[in-house]
Structure 1
Amino acid sequence: MTPLELAAWTWKMPRRGRGFWFSLTIDVLWPFVVLFVKLRVRGRHNVPGNGGVVLAFNHLSNADAVAAVVFSLMSNRVPRVLAKASLWRAPVVGWIMRSGGHIPVERGTVKASEALRPAVEALRAGQCVMAFPEGRFTDDPDDWPIRGKSGVARMALEARVPVVPVAEWGTQRLLPRGKILPRLLPRKEVEVVAGAPVDLSDLYGRELTAEVLDEATARVMAAITTMLSGIRSAEAGSHSA
């Protein structure tokens, strides 16, 4: 998208339900996205317009969250971000997380099913929950997704909602891991592509054993990897042309 095309999205993205501080953060960051990112978004039609849904992204960089929120808003859904609870105790960031109605997860303090209860309730209430199944940045030397944790599978199966796999690419160039300041120039290409919802319907109603959760998680991660492979193959082809 050109800067003008991106700027036009300011008036198209939903505002109701964003919360004051979360909405202000989006408004502050949006000009930087418009000016310094060559953003390409595809597959928005795969995101249901209403009802509970999980958007599951691969994790490359701290810039992923910004790109993921932008994708969700451009898909006409206000996301509730599933994130580690320590963010709620951080200055400023805590205000943003509470304002946006995001969902804290206290890792390692309670059983997984209890830790994800707020997310399941949000999904049952028809909200859009945004998550990174890997739980951390990939440590694969070629930046492919690593094994996912079971949280996304658990909450999707409990709430019986679709999981939309979304691949991001280019965020690792915009803000490399371990860096604080983004590399804004020259403008970086960032691509976000969503695939069709992952079919987990055959697992509904089954006891959430490790085997069932592993199977659901593997399907989600395979779908994300497939979407990412398509992005990277197209990029390699354009560079070799």
Structure 2
Amino acid sequence: MSRRRIGFWYRLAAVIAKPPLVVLFKRDWRGMEHIPAEGGFITAVNHNSYLDPLSYGHFQYNTGRVPRFLAKAGVFRTPGVGAILRGTGQIPVYRESTNALDAFRAAVEAVERGECVAFYPEGTLTRDPDVWPMAGKTGAARVALMTRAPVVPVAQWGAHEAMPPYAKEKKVRLFPRKTLRVQAGPPVDLSRFYDKEPTPELLREATEVIMAGITEQLALLRGETPPSEPYDHRKARAEQRRKAAGEGPK
């Protein structure tokens, strides 16, 4: 198969989601020409708001190549939402369980069938103080190196202005209308990692290339210079614990 048909469930999701997105937000979409017309591929997307999957999903839907997201398994148990997720072929992620590898296998199989699988390599909403992409996890790189499918970096900006990440005290701000900006770039070059043993070090290097591609596109969208190194939440937490214990930096 060369591509996944949109199908009933995706069209139903579009009927539900697109009207409010069109009414409530302006759009600035760039780089649709980098979305492959045929064949399996991966998109790697930054994550700065609970709203941005809808923003990116709208962009991708309009290219005619619908994505299969990896989503936490618990979301599939939500009434109504779960039925749409299952109907549209989204991939449940079971963390720290005997089913943890199922998502990886499903992603590889989907790409090999000619579908698009969308990864949020950060694994969660960014905690970077300036909302840049954080250091990524290796899942997208693993699938990319196994399938040798194109990895298209996608940056998005603006959804966080309507729904800020991790700011429970801040209400959703829909007005004045915000602009949802999405930009896809050319596939990142991972060819130097092919035909090599997928060691943890190699997977981290490949992931850094993917995250650099996303950050480059976001820098173009924002018209700003990104940090020299991506924010690493684990290192930041460790540093905070050391400071709280009265220890010096390491």
* Smaller-chain TM-score bracket: 0.7 to 0.9
* 1:185-208 deviation per Cα after TM superposition (whole angstroms, max 9, x unaligned): 211011101111011122122221
Q: Is the 8 A contact 2:153 2:188 kept in 1?
A: yes
Pick one of 105, 116, 125 that aligns with 2:104: 116
More helix by share: 1
From 59, 67, 71, the equivalent of 2:47 is: 59
Amino acid at match of 1:92: G
Q: CA deviation at 1:17?
A: 3.0
Contact 1:56–1:166 (CA<8 Å) still a contact in 2?
Answer: yes
CA pair 209-110 structure 1, distance change in 2 beyond 3 A: farther
Aligned to 2:80: 92
Query: What amino acid does structure 1 have at the position aligned with 2:216?
Result: T
Q: Deviations over 1:51-94 (max 9, x none)?
A: 11111110000111001111111222011111111211222221
User: Which residue in the other structure is 1:125 paired with?
Assistant: 113
Find the partner of 2:68 among 71, 80, 83: 80
- Counterpart of 1:208 (choices 195, 198, 207) is 198
Count of residues in correspondence between the two structures: 220
2:223 aligns to what SS in structure 1? Answer: helix
The structure number with the bigger radius of gyration is: 2
Shift of 1:40: 0.6
Normalising by the residue count of structure 2, what TM-score does the alignment of the two structures yield? 0.82
1:80 and 1:19 map into 2 onto residues whose CA distance is 15
Give the corresponding residue for 2:153.
Answer: 165
Q: Show CA shifts across 1:76-134 (max 9, x none).
A: 20111111112112222211110001111211224865540000000000001111110
**1:3 corresponding residue in structure 2:** none
SS at match of 2:144: helix
**Other-structure match for 2:144:** 156
User: Once the 2 structures are TM-superposed, how far is the Cα of residue 176 of structure 1 from its aligned partner?
Assistant: 1.8
- Structure 1, unpaired ranges of 5+: 1-13, 235-241
Within-5 A mapping of 1:211-226: 211-226=201-216
1:156-192 deviation line (CA, Å, top 9, x unaligned): 1111101000100001012222459742221101110
Question: 1:11 is matched with which residue?
Answer: none
State the Cα deviation string for residues 200-227 of structure 1 (Å, max 9, x = none).
1221222211011101100000011111
Letter of the structure 1 residue corresponding to residue 73 of structure 2: A
Q: How many angstroms apart in 2 are the aligned matches of 1:151 and 1:24?
A: 29
Q: Which residue of 2 aligns with 1:17?
A: 6
Map of 2:164 onto structure 1: 176
The alpha-carbon deviation at position 154 of structure 1 amounts to 0.6
2-side partners of 1:102 and 1:66: how far apart? Answer: 14
Contact persistence 1:18–1:99 (CA under 8 A)? no
2:247 counterpart residue number = none
Whole-angstrom distance in 2 between the partners of 1:91 and 1:145: 31
Q: What amino acid is the match of 1:24?
A: L
Whole-Å separation in 2 of the counterparts to 1:219 and 1:19: 36
Per-residue CA distance 1:9-35 (angstroms, 9 max, x = gap): xxxxx9943442x43222122111111
> 2: distance between equivalents of 1:176 and 1:18?
32
Task: Quote the residue 1:36 is aligned against.
Answer: 24
1:146 — aligned with what? Answer: 134
TM-fit CA distance, 1:230: 1.1
For 1:18 and 1:157, the matched residues in 2 are separated by: 29
- TM-score between both structures, scaled by the size of structure 1: 0.85
Corresponding residue of 1:189: 179
* CA pair 210-111 structure 1, distance change in 2 beyond 3 A: farther
CA distance in 2, matches of 1:40, 1:220: 23
Distance 1:120 1:57, change over 3 A: same
1:4 aligns with none
